[in-house]
Amino acid sequence: MKRRTWLLSALGATGALVVGWGVMPARSRLGSPELMLQTQGDVALNGWIKIAADGAVVLAMPRSEMGQGVHTALAMLVAEELDVPLNRVRLEQAGGDSIYGNVAMLVASLPFHPLDSEGEHKPTKIKMGEWLVGKVARELGLNATGGSSSIADLWDPLRMAAATARASLLQAAAAAWKVPASEITVTAGVMKHASGQSAHYGQMVAAASGSTPSGIQTKSREKWQLIGQAAPRTDIPSKVTGQATFGLDVRLQGMLFAAVQMCPMIGGSAASMDTKDALALKGVSKVVPLDAWGGGTAGLAVVGQTTWHARQGAQAVKVQWQAPATGAVDTQRIQADLLKALNTESGFTFHEQGVPTQAEKAATTRIDALYQAPYLAHATMEPMNCTAQVKDGKVEIWVPTQVPQMARDMAAKVAKVDKDKVTVHVTQLGGGFGRRLEVDFVGQAVQVAMACEGQPVQLSWSREEDMTHDFYRPMHLAKFQASLDDKGEVTSLRIKSAGDAITPRWMARAAPHLSGPIDMPDKTASEGLFDLPYGFASQHMSHVATKSGVPVGFWRSVGHSHNAFFSESFIDELAAATKQDPLVFRLKLLKDAPRYAAVLQLAADKAAWGTPLPAGRARGIALHESFGSIVAQVAEVSLTEGQIRVHRVVCAIDCGTVVNPGTVAQQMESSVVYGLSAALYGRIDIVGGVVQQGNFPSYPMVSLSQTPVVETHIVPSTRHPAGVGEPAVPPLAPAVGNALFALTGKRQRALPLTA
């Protein structure tokens, strides 16, 4: 079967089998009060909200804070509905119940074209697909922070949970005061009546417990006082003072420390190991061979009194490493294999419209291009780490993770205990970017803790181990073919890409019981190519999924991160070939996509597109939609002393309803810096199975002095909130590349860009 029809059939569903399908109500995720931690003085009103004795609000937090400001934004939703100051909302780690699972992230994995799947008039097959995946996601209850989905997923459930709690409290006060609940007002968490009676939430919560108010409505937009206003990030003060607890900050009584040494060859193992010299070192207590947990690499860990002792010991172990039975991987060979796949395999068709073959036959001109992107590492500032204790048949872990349930499951698997015997403490994350959707390092920590006789042990990776044992963004190639008629108009666009599919590999590691015996078509492989908003009459977009043997994973903005460079650079090529201004050319193709055109025009206006620049500078423009948000960027670029210098980046974004505009601007700036580092420097080379880049000297980041001025302009919207943490990464590379073309007249079709 072709394209999207396959998905519904693969789920074993047809329209006749689905009764009453539609949007599931937010109240279905309220949960019961028993799901929240039982703490003295606090009373839970549902699975999300507790009220403390002093009237403060306690929110069950299922998402990880890794610098994106999600703990502030989600607390704002609750503070808004309960009419309490933001600083009166405390956070408590959510448990493992399915109500905390991320439904929106899984629904967004469906490969539907965004122009087909917007609004109330979606085609039936799209509604059905979203319902089915949403139903599965609710049952699965996978708690994950990823896909720029936290606000999109919890927008309705959290506001409904808070509104329900508020209604229960008002109902209790009305009964106690013998007045209508409609006559009671709330200011800063204090309920008041015109008769003079008043009480804060904590004084009424016991009476409110167990009530089931009906007809709950969340606040209407015009009554918002907090949502949409810039609010200070609640996680910043503790980070400034050093009180925030990241994974490497965990300290427990009697804690030991472990350092790893893993096989330098991807997929390799140890043939022999001599630990005598290591164990002779002062402060070193033991050497633990490590299995290849979670799709990682086998190796060893050395346990010591401090991290320094452990790392000295790890360096002293003499190991004879051996390559995997399948042989050593090599990026040059992988690149050649991808090119062969592009030229010989048809791949899976993600999108087709019109009759491309007919347009191609009638064409008077054809434009062909081949684009390439390398492997990339995540390079989080905090390397992988986990603290674990295995004692009395129970496991306790302290870990910076994006997937606490998967961390729990991995710990239970390694320790051979039931899941309910594992306690997970999620610390703050020193960067995630998708790397901490993996739990290989959790398995290592628990394996080492099992050898430490009940003592807690903190396992950490060096920067070199982190860089050379990542789950990399895959190498991808894409072939473009455009047909032009005798008037110079583009009549068809054909795109075929090739590269490893991430989701099947991740599913095999994360949930092998769900991954199935065959690979499902992976949206991340073709996103940013099959879902372009441009109105080409005939289109055909396909992808050839490969298996290179290199461990691949989700990297910030995933397939969009390289596919946007491919597509927006080629769109610029078409503008040049038809002798049109890049902005004007795009706007002509967006006449049926007004949201996209509005974002593009806003960025161009704010950047003063078309006005003169200082000598030696040029502008480039790019537009891209990802994670439900549309971002346009204009980059001002020069070549200074033989180096690419980006002076200014103007961002425009339509991300639906904005909760905290300050955070939106921060994420645009963060994305520009992250994306620029990848665009100018990012590449991972593998020779003989060994990753060649081991630290920042060979895998540079953009420095402060190289960071451009970043301006953010937000399109006002009443739509459902969409993603913010990732959508500004994809258009950065093509905007810079297009500026370089305007500056030099030379088109660069491979990343990283060069001077």
745, 625 Cβ separation under 8 angstroms: no
pLDDT for residue 139: 82
Residue 565 lies in a domain: yes
What is the DSSP track for 203-236?
HHHHHHTT----S--PPPGGG-SSTTS----TTH
User: Kind and range of the H or E element at 329?
Assistant: none
Q: Left if phi > 0, otherwise alpha if psi is -120 to 50, otherwise beta: which for 434?
A: left
Q: Judge if 209 and 341 occupy the same domain.
A: no
Condensed to tens digits (0 to 9), the pLDDT of residues 47-68 reads 999 999 999 999 999 999 999 9
* CATH of residue 162: 3.30.365.10
376, 682 Cβ separation under 8 angstroms: yes
Distances (CA, A) of 451 to 48, 137, 288, 395, 414: 38, 37, 7, 13, 12
Q: What is the mean pLDDT of the chain?
A: 94
Contacts of 274 (CB under 8 A, 6+ apart): 317, 318, 319
Residue 703 lies in a domain: yes
Q: Judge if 445 and 532 occupy the same domain.
A: no
Distance CA 299, CA 309 (A): 18
Residue 24 lies in a domain: no
Q: Judge if 632 and 733 occupy the same domain.
A: yes
**Number of Cα atoms under 13 Å in the Cβ half of residue 733:** 33
Residue 186 sits at the vertex; the CA angle it makes with 47 and 214, to the nearest 5 degrees, is 45
Q: Judge if 340 and 317 occupy the same domain.
A: no
Q: Three-class SS of residue 259? A: strand
Contacts of 190 (CB under 8 A, 6+ apart): 55, 198, 199, 200
Last residue of a domain, one of 432, 460, 488: 460
Distances (CA, A) of 259 to 81, 253, 268, 429, 448: 47, 19, 19, 19, 10
Q: Judge if 281 and 406 occupy the same domain.
A: yes
439, 665 Cβ separation under 8 angstroms: no
Distance CA 676, CA 734 (A): 10
Note the pTM of the prediction, 2 decimals.
0.94
Residue 755 lies in a domain: no
Residue 107 lies in a domain: no
Contacts of 487 (CB under 8 A, 6+ apart): none
Residue 547 lies in a domain: yes
pLDDT at 234 over 50: yes
pLDDT for residue 28: 80
Joined tokens for residue 636: 């001002």
pLDDT for residue 562: 98
Condensed to tens digits (0 to 9), the pLDDT of residues 423-437 reads 999 999 999 999 999
What is the DSSP track for 683-732?
-B-EETTEES--STTTS----GGGPPEEEEEEPP--SPP---SSTTSTTH
Report helix angle 732-744 to 661-681, nearest 10: 50
Q: Judge if 321 and 273 occupy the same domain.
A: yes
Q: Judge if 319 and 359 occupy the same domain.
A: no
pLDDT at 687 over 70: yes
Q: How many domains does the chain have?
A: 3
Percentage of the chain modeled with pLDDT above 70: 95
User: Per-residue pLDDT averaged across 644-659, rounded?
Assistant: 98
DSSP 8-state code for residue 487: T
Please report which confidence band the pLDDT of residue 518 belongs to, taking 50, 70 and 90 as the band edges.
Answer: very low
Last residue of a domain, one of 429, 460, 491: 460
Condensed to tens digits (0 to 9), the pLDDT of residues 561-620 reads 999 999 999 999 999 999 999 999 999 999 999 999 999 999 999 999 999 999 999 999
Q: Judge if 579 and 633 occupy the same domain.
A: yes
Q: Judge if 530 and 657 occupy the same domain.
A: yes
Sheet holding 629-640, edge to edge: 617-626, 629-640, 643-654, 709-714
- The least confident of 210-214, 240-244, 688-692 is 210-214
Distance CA 48, CA 308 (A): 42
Condensed to tens digits (0 to 9), the pLDDT of residues 101-149 reads 999 998 998 888 888 766 556 777 777 788 888 888 888 888 999 999 9
Condensed to tens digits (0 to 9), the pLDDT of residues 714-747 reads 999 999 999 999 999 999 999 999 999 999 999 9
Residue 749 lies in a domain: no
Distance CA 584, CA 570 (A): 15
pLDDT at 506 over 50: yes
Please report which confidence band the pLDDT of residue 12 belongs to, taking 50, 70 and 90 as the band edges.
Answer: very low
Last residue of a domain, one of 173, 200, 231: 231
pLDDT: is 22 or 24 the higher one?
24
Strands 49-51 and 57-61: antiparallel
Q: Judge if 94 and 203 occupy the same domain.
A: yes
pLDDT for residue 9: 43
Q: Judge if 350 and 319 occupy the same domain.
A: no
Q: How much of the chain is helix, strand and coil, in % rounded to 5? A: 35, 25, 40
pLDDT for residue 313: 98
Q: Judge if 696 and 638 occupy the same domain.
A: yes
Contacts of 668 (CB under 8 A, 6+ apart): 631, 651, 653, 710, 712, 728
Q: What's the longest Cα–Cα distance across the chain?
A: 83
Range of the domain at 156: 31-102+141-231
Residue 43 lies in a domain: yes
DSSP 8-state code for residue 326: T
